[in-house]
């Protein structure tokens, strides 16, 4: 099969648009998953079971149902209840919510890994509970969990093609559209395959750099 460079050049405008959407979904989805995962982790340490039990039920349900089902539910069912969002906003929230249930476990492990002596020292200094968390516990916990959180960023990147099912034209969606329009599949699919490898590699480098800075 002959490689057609004209197909590559013809696909590039759509590729750049798809890359923009992919990176936007990845960045916003990551922020939601990191923030919401921390909230879940803190709520799971609440002193009353009336807080822990509902949070546990919700997070288990989200973690044990496919992301694809959640995308369809949020995009097609919520409008029937009067809640309508753009396809991209729905996709970003679905990815962030789904992965927050995984980052929650990462945060929990990081918090539990903080030595007991740190809690005792904060108590001995009579630090307020909020100050204990923000100044003593969380800074140490987050340093420990950066590598694991980074792995989920890569996983989220690999799941962004699922947004195509709710009409979001990320990289794979743009490649599929171009292929259907021009009956050329090899070149656009190869381009996005290489793009995913490069973006994953660059993301891993950035996360390693962040990890080294936090360890200092």
DSSP string, 160-184: GGGGGGGT---HHHHHHHHHHHHS-
46-85 per-position pLDDT tens digit: 888 888 899 999 999 999 999 999 999 999 999 999 888 9
Give the chain's length. 216
State the pTM of this model: 0.89
80-137 per-position pLDDT tens digit: 998 889 999 999 999 999 999 999 999 988 888 887 777 777 777 777 777 777 777 7
């Amino acid at each position: 099969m002959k490689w057609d460079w004209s197909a590559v050049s013809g696909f590039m405008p759509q590729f750049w648009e798809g890359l923009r959407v992919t990176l936007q979904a990845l960045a916003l989805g990551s922020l939601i998953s990191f923030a919401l995962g921390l909230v879940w982790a803190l709520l799971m340490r609440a002193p009353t079971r009336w807080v822990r039990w509902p949070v546990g039920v919700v997070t288990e349900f989200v973690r044990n149902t496919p992301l694809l089902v959640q995308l369809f539910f949020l995009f097609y069912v919520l409008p029937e209840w009067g809640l309508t969002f753009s396809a991209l906003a729905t996709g970003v929230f679905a990815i962030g919510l789904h992965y927050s249930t995984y980052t929650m476990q990462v945060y929990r492990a990081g918090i539990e890994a903080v030595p007991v002596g740190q809690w005792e020292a904060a108590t001995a200094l009579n630090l307020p509970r909020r100050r204990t968390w923000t100044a003593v516990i969380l800074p140490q916990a987050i340093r420990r969990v950066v590598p694991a959180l980074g792995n989920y960023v890569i996983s989220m990147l690999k799941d962004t093609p699922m947004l195509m099912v709710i009409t979001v034209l990320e990289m794979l969606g743009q490649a599929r559209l171009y292929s259907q329009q021009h009956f050329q599949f090899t070149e656009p699919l190869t381009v996005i395959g290489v793009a995913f490898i490069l973006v994953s590699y660059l993301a891993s480098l950035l996360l390693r750099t962040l990890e080294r800075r936090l360890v200092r």
